[in-house]
């Protein structure tokens, strides 16, 4: 289903790109064709391979196979800087400039203007102003970049790219931290680039934006390109379905280890959240979780799922909204408050926020439990051993023993260690953010069965997953989040995948969208 534009006219032509990390394919036959002067959307779920594809293109990674033509010539670069000099500039999400330095320096460093051997500041300031004025931006270029808001910083990054006379500008989720007004400024810049014949590769998860600004789209899944089409030829629903790998027409059998549930085990309401908001990422989220229930957030990347979970757990500060836990008003100031209220939180980013890599399996499992297995601050070794042994056995954690360093375990076993950390606390509500991400298939099934068993035992579970099957088959109720707003509540298992996808894509019910 890959439409091939006229080859001779292509600006960038990547074909059959292969890339493996430690033997595991990250890209398996990915392709990407960009026309001159077009805005091209690149979308896909996490792990779909779009980041890797971009990093291969910009020389950050060396490809294992395939062919890259840029302006009809083979394109081989060894670093992002070489790529930039050759005409491909990347504007990263976390902007890769130096906030402490002036706007001028950020635009001109690496190709300074000199007069008699010394830097010619007035010429450089003028150059910076000239580049920015093309986007109708007039700021004091002498001031540090960090003084300006994210949108302006992005404009500076773009100006730097243009200054290196880029023919292709890659923008990685450029709008994720912009407000509406800033987004519209960015879009006018994108359109202007296009008018000047510069192509833009636009990575975003906000579908409305793609339709607003992009001409064509390439969709990636599991390391290869599944579809490439003009934006006008593809509907939102089709787009989401292609991205998630779900043919809208077909609902196949079970893809996960989640089985049918005895819904009579679901009890009364455990936790409620009403109108949660905190800045751009979470604007208005309402949901509740019952005892013995698996509630799930569905949504695209950037819909505010993780951010909402962090609010619930007290890891970030709430701006507005009400929460109750076991019918009592609940206002967490920090994670410790959430823990005291009976919550556990398995984070999405295992490495950065979950495991303590230098510590042992036993120490990681008991990290939150410390106050409960100690008296007067002294650890009860026997209780620790006993609890750790029980969880290693019950969860089937594969390790050489409780004293093995956690960093030596596989991803799946690290995840089980984290699950054990919270289960050992005997929580009432367990928040699982992407519990099966980056885990091999076997371990995935084990964890899914475990989640099911926990719910059967009466635990309230809030599960966030980007895998639509997991949500469809695992959840008792599905809350669909879209751009920071909870837009739909659907019965799980009974729900139609079309309804969920439609809510993710359009925000309303499928009926509304069709109308």
> According to CB under 8 A, which residues from 336 to 375 bind another protein?
336, 339-340, 345, 347, 352-359, 363, 366-368, 370-371, 374
Q: Identify residues 25-44 at the interface with another protein (CB under 8 A).
A: 26
Which span sits near another protein by CB under 8 A: 74-82, 177-185, 289-297, 491-499?
74-82
Q: Do residues 174 and 91 touch, judged by C-beta distance below 8 A?
A: yes
CB of 121 to another protein, least distance (A): 5
Q: Does 76 bind another protein (CB under 8 A)?
A: no
Q: Name the DSSP class of 22.
A: T
Q: How many CB atoms lie within 10 A of CB 117?
A: 5
Q: Does 305 bind another protein (CB under 8 A)?
A: no
Name the residue among 249, 242, 244, 208 with its Cα closest to residue 227: 242
Tokens 């729900």 sit at which residue? Answer: 495
Helix (H) or strand (E) holding 486: strand 485-491
Q: Does 100 bind another protein (CB under 8 A)?
A: yes
Which span sits near another protein by CB under 8 A: 142-150, 174-182, 210-218, 232-240?
142-150
**What region, left, alpha or beta, does residue 246 occupy, with left being phi > 0 and alpha being psi -120 to 50 degrees?**
beta
CB nearer to another protein: give 141 or 210.
141
CB of 255 to another protein, least distance (A): 21
Contacts of 502 (CB under 8 A, 6+ apart): 237, 508, 509, 510, 513
Q: How many CB atoms lie within 10 A of CB 162?
A: 20
Residue of 438, 445, 458, 508 that binds another protein (CB under 8 A) = 438
Using CB atoms within 10 A of its CB, is residue 192 exposed (0-12), middle (13-18) or buried (19+)?
Answer: middle
Which span sits near another protein by CB under 8 A: 2-10, 116-124, 176-184, 471-479?
116-124
Question: Phi and psi at residue 344, in whole multiples of 5°?
Answer: -135, 155
Q: How far apart are CA 399 and CA 405, in angstroms?
A: 9
Q: How many CB atoms lie within 10 A of CB 72?
A: 12
Q: Identify residues 440-479 at the interface with another protein (CB under 8 A).
A: none
Residue of 74, 250, 264, 377 that binds another protein (CB under 8 A) = 377
Residue of 62, 67, 78, 143 that binds another protein (CB under 8 A) = 143
Q: Name the DSSP class of 205.
A: S
Which span sits near another protein by CB under 8 A: 84-92, 247-255, 485-493, 495-503?
84-92
Which span sits near another protein by CB under 8 A: 130-138, 144-152, 181-189, 472-480?
144-152
Q: Does 104 bind another protein (CB under 8 A)?
A: yes
CB of 414 to another protein, least distance (A): 10
Q: How far apart are CA 181 and CA 447, in angstroms?
A: 43
Q: How far apart are CA 8 and CA 20, in angstroms?
A: 30
Q: Does 401 bind another protein (CB under 8 A)?
A: no
CB of 140 to another protein, least distance (A): 9
């Amino acid at each position: 289903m890959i439409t091939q534009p006229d080859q001779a006219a292509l600006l960038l032509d990547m074909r059959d790109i292969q890339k493996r990390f430690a033997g595991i394919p990250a890209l398996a036959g990915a392709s990407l064709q960009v026309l001159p002067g077009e805005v091209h959307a690149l979308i896909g779920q996490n792990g779909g391979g779009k980041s890797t594809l971009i990093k291969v293109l910009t020389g950050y990674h060396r490809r294992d196979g395939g062919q890259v033509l840029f302006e009809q010539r083979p394109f081989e670069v060894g670093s992002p800087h070489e790529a930039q000099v050759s005409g491909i500039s990347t504007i990263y999400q976390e902007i890769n400039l130096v906030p402490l330095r002036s706007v001028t320096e950020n635009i001109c460093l690496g190709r300074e203007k000199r007069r008699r051997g010394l830097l010619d500041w007035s010429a450089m300031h003028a150059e910076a102003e000239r580049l920015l004025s093309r986007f109708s931006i007039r700021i004091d270029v002498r001031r540090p970049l960090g003084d300006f808001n994210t949108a302006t910083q992005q404009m500076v990054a773009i100006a730097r790219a243009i200054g290196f006379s880029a023919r292709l500008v890659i923008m990685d989720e450029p709008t994720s931290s912009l407000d509406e007004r800033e987004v519209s400024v960015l879009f006018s810049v994108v359109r202007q680039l296009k008018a000047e014949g510069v192509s833009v590769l636009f990575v975003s998860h906000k579908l409305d934006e793609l339709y607003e600004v992009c001409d064509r789209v390439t969709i990636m899944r599991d390391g290869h390109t599944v579809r490439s089409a003009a934006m006008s030829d593809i509907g939102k629903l089709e787009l989401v379905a292609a991205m998630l790998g779900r043919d809208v027409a077909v609902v196949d059998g079970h893809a996960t280890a989640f089985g049918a549930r005895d819904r009579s085990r679901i009890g009364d309401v455990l936790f409620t959240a009403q109108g949660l908001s905190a800045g751009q990422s979470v604007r208005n989220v309402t949901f509740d979780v019952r005892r013995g229930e698996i509630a799930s957030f569905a949504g695209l990347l950037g819909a505010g799922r993780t951010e909402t979970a962090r609010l619930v757990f007290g890891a970030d500060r709430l701006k507005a909204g009400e929460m109750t836990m076991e019918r009592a008003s609940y206002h967490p100031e920090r994670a410790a408050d959430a823990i005291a209220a009976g919550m556990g939180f398995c984070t999405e980013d295992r490495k950065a926020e979950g495991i303590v890599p230098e510590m042992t399996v036993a120490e990681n499992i008991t990290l939150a439990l410390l106050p409960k297995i100690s008296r007067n601050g002294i650890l009860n070794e026997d209780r620790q051993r006993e609890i750790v042994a029980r969880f290693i056995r019950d969860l089937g954690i594969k390790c050489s023993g409780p004293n093995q360093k956690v960093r030596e375990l596989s991803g799946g076993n690290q995840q089980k260690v984290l699950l054990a950390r919270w289960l050992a606390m005997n929580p009432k509500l367990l928040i699982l953010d992407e519990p099966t991400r980056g885990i091999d298939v076997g371990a995935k099934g084990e964890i899914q069965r475990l989640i099911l068993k926990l719910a059967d035992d009466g635990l309230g579970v809030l599960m966030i997953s980007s895998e639509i099957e997991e949500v469809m088959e695992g959840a008792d109720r599905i809350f669909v989040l879209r751009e920071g707003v909870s837009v739909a509540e659907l019965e799980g298992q009974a729900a139609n995948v079309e309804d969920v996808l439609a809510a993710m894509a359009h925000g309303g019910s499928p009926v509304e969208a069709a109308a």
